[in-house]
Chain A
Amino acid sequence: MSAQVQILFKNSTKKNSHTLKVHKEGGGYKQVEKAFGLSTEDIIDEVKRSGIRGRGGAGFPAGLKWSFIPKDNSRDKYLVCNADEGEPGTCKDRDIIRYVPHQLIEGMIIAAYAVGAERGYIYIRGEFVREAEILQKAIDEAYKEGYLGENILDKGIRFDLAIHRGAGAYVCGEETGLLESLEGKKGQPRVKPPFPANIGLWGGPTVINNVETLAAVPAIIEKGGEWYGKLGVEKSSGTKLFSISGHVNKPGNYEVELGIPMKTLIEEYAGGVRGGWDNLKGIIPGGASSAILPKEVCETVTMDYDAIAKAGSMLGSGAVVVIDKSVCIVKAVERLSRFYRHESCGQCTPCREGTGWMSQIMTRIEAGGGVEGDIELLGSICGNISGKTICALGDAAVGPIAGSIKAFREEYLYHVEHGRCMVG
């Protein structure tokens, strides 16, 4: 196993890594000082040069996102950290929060300074009660040491940071659903444009970044965007946390450079597929919403945004779910279809109705009641949802169904014809 550069998890295995003391011993908070000595334009340029793309799932270049914040807008600006972590299979942000919360806070202070935000929020999923407690302690420590508040490091720079807990709604991971929730409303996503950079939280220009993106910022300031940009591969620079779950011998969160072969990631880091590589059926590469890739694709595909997209799926949040040959794909997708039905916020008709119908048909096929034409019907519903909704949840619901019909059509056909699974 080749040694990989560790940026996010550099200090995560140290004892009491969650404390300010240990964070500072590892060089923490030095980058706040450095950043305050730079112009805001220089910081944004540095982050642009790094090429880092949003780690929450959409993969939008972070530096570009920051540069969209208008300079001439007199309204208060905001920085929001998305710690909703709801994409099934994903549990990486949880470990950043549990083990290196100050790295996230440091990244947020720098980002806030760069975009001119004096107030920030970390929107954490409601179920992470203990994680929110750890984070609150870290925020309290940072206030006490003068890294947060009205006059950071006596430089006259202000940044106030608070936690806002969600309450169990997957759709709040969508950035405008999250903003609605932060404003004390149902988390129903907003029509875009206007984008949050122009009209975001309480109408003010707002940057929303994932935990992992923000936690990488101190290293970019320390070593430079060019250094970071050289890690990984073209258009997918840097390191990424992959949450590897399912049928592997050593499930876990692994930090590796983007572009690593998927097979290496599974075989060398996650301890291999249960029962050996040849027992692999397929891998969901980027969370439940990404299309499952069959074994033959997994043999050669690399873990970067473009390669996974080219293979017909998406890198998403980096949640790698490994599925072995004992699993009926129809049953697995049926489970996911129920999830999307439950999580559709009900705002857009194609998603509200479509997720319900898809789930019903999937359940019917799985239970042995599938009829001829069901597979085509699913395809038709997918087509009627895709691209026709306000947010990406509709497309997310389509991903696993459309992807599995394409890659594992014979299992669907067998199910409809024989009324039972092809396996087991």
Chain B
Amino acid sequence: MKFTIDWLKEHLETKATDTEIINKLTAIGLEVEEVIDAVALYGDFIIGEVVKEEKHPNADKLKICKVNIGNKIVDVVCGAPNVTKGMKAVYAPPGSTIPVNQMKLKVAKIRGVESSGMLCSEYELGISELHEGIIQMPEDSKVGSSYVDQMNLDNIMIEIGITPNRQDCLGVYGIARDLSAAGLGNLKELEVPKIQSKYKNPISTTFEKKADQKSCYAFGSRYIKNVKNCESPQWLKDKLTSIGLKPISALVDVTNYILFDYNRPLHVYDADKINGNIVVRSARKNEAFFGLDDKEYSLEEGMCVISDDKTALGLGGILGGISSSCDLDTKNVLLESALFSPENTANTGRKLFIDSDARYRFERGVDANSLNIGLDKAALLIQEICGGEISDTEICGNIPTETKEIPFDLIKNSSRLGIEIDQSEIEKILNKLGIKNKKNNNILLCTIPSWRHDIHGEADLSEEVIRIKGFDAIPVLPIRTENKINEVILSRTYKNNLRSKRFLAQRGGNELVTWSFSSSKDSKFYSNNQRLKIKNPISEDLDILRPSLIPNLLTAIKKNISRGFDSFSIFEVGSQFTSDTPGDQKNIACGLKSGIKTEKNWNSQKVDFDSYDVQADILALVNHLMAKNKNIEIKTGAPDWYHPGRSASLIINKDTVLGYFGELHPKIIKHHKIKNRVLAFELFIDEVPLSSKKTTNKESYFESDFQTVDRDFAFIVNKDVEAKTMINLPFKADEKLVKNVQIFDVFEGEAIGNDKKSLAIKVTLQASDRTLNETEIQDVSKKIVDLIQQKTAGVVRS
């Protein structure tokens, strides 16, 4: 919402300085977003007349202009196609600053010809996007006068942000009322015009159906005959331009003025273009409508249209139509002042993607009592400027009159705000806001004025009081609790998330945070679930909820390759989705490694990351998250996005998948245009078992102090025998004595046959109650060899 301080003072009698006004606006919740001081911005610019123009000797499109700026004539090189002799233009002298780009002008040679200053376009002054030609000032503009004086810009424009509840401040009058309540002056009494009309409005209005009154509560109109539409008088044009609006013609400008001054949306129809009478109705299915914004709309049933006997003339509360629009030849007009329902206005506007000043106000709620006052103010102003005779008012429907009363408990108010405010002060604030109140014990019975649609209960009244009084008055109270409220601060899953991040970073991983979205093209390898689609994606690249963290991390690798990186150890801990239902998300720790693990250097050759590096990551991470992890096993094979021969799954408690790891499938890597192999692991953090009872005690402790014995064995087995089998079998041979099994050598080669490999294991034996003797050791060794030979069809390597 934009306005100028001069305009504000038409409604507010105040001695406050500009700065006081600006600070107070923000303090009462009308946040000042921008302050434009036109004098500071345009003060240096002068009206000049082009007295001579000739072609630039060295450039086809440039002209050399002699410009009379009052006290002298200067040379200006200008490229505008519209510059002509005799034209009055806006001249920016050397030393001035061009608003749009903050460029400070200097006398400069342009293609060898000296130019002192420039002639400005609207774009350069920051008024509009027009930069095709320079501004043509009216012929009667005074040469040598300042642009600010010529345009009556001598004021300060303020733009404030209005929160959606404060529709009452979408007009200058409402802002003045709020400031006056905040003690910044007196609100001038609103002039309520009286119109003596001599004839009846010849155009009647009806609702097509009773139900149409649900979308348009009331439709008021006056007919004005024999008007002469024209350019608006200077004061009106200045008002509109001062807040960045373009004057169009007096009829239209008046409605815009009342809109911003008094927050009353109006519409003016060329009455001669109306066929018959006005009908307020629901749009027909696929009904065509041509809006004043030069766009054609296809309407839906339920949208409120203002129609004549034939076609839709306007979209109620949103946009007028071309067919009945006013122009300079308009002779008779119908002036509309109506009350549309917020719901219907919002729905229609949203469906058709139309943002208009009228929609903005109606969907937030317009003061019902402004219908007649706004209509009459505008009618009189039109008559004043364009002449004509005003009819009586035709009102169709009912202007809501019920008033809302709220009992305001002052004790509760204090306990809500944390401060006791004098009752007299509360009464004064409410009164100045137009909230009438009557005292009854500790209760103020408040009557909410018609322009406040946002006050429904006591909390809202508390807000009004403290908003005007200021939050600074509230004392700061301590919040430490005497008794603990929460037994648990962090859930154990959440703790696992945090621990995973720190742990993986400590192992060399760099933590990335990527979008929870992904591209369906990159994600097709992981899921084709249609229920991951985003209905209104921000771009094609981010059109689904990610089914996996891998694609975004691959994209990050690709991006960093182009930044010159050749070694990657990255990870992300975040959610991936299985559907678009709340809760269908999983916590994942996902790490990727690729490229160089160790650079070639003085003590080693270059080493690339391989699948064992991500295996180490996931196993170490699991160890970190759960100290006791006896029931974990590695199973060869992982989902399709992994290399079929170089991937595995981590299983816990026989059948719960805890994660996957290995090399990513080469076709996916190729899809991302990455040359190196990429290794990945995914850990499902939610599947990490949490013990049912939390205890700080560790399990009971026992270790044997009797001597341990190591025995080495080597077997030649088929290549498909897994290391896991080799490690598990000795334990099965003797559960009591076998304490540890380690593979210390793997050999493949022609010497033992191409389909074979040799696996060498070291078995550690120990008894809990004695030192083992040689016979016992021999016996266990035999059991181990027999069992391995039997289960793997392997032979002892000699």
The answer to whether A and B interact is: no
- Residues of B participating in the A interface, judged by any CB pair closer than 8 Å: none
- Residues of A participating in the B interface, judged by any CB pair closer than 8 Å: none
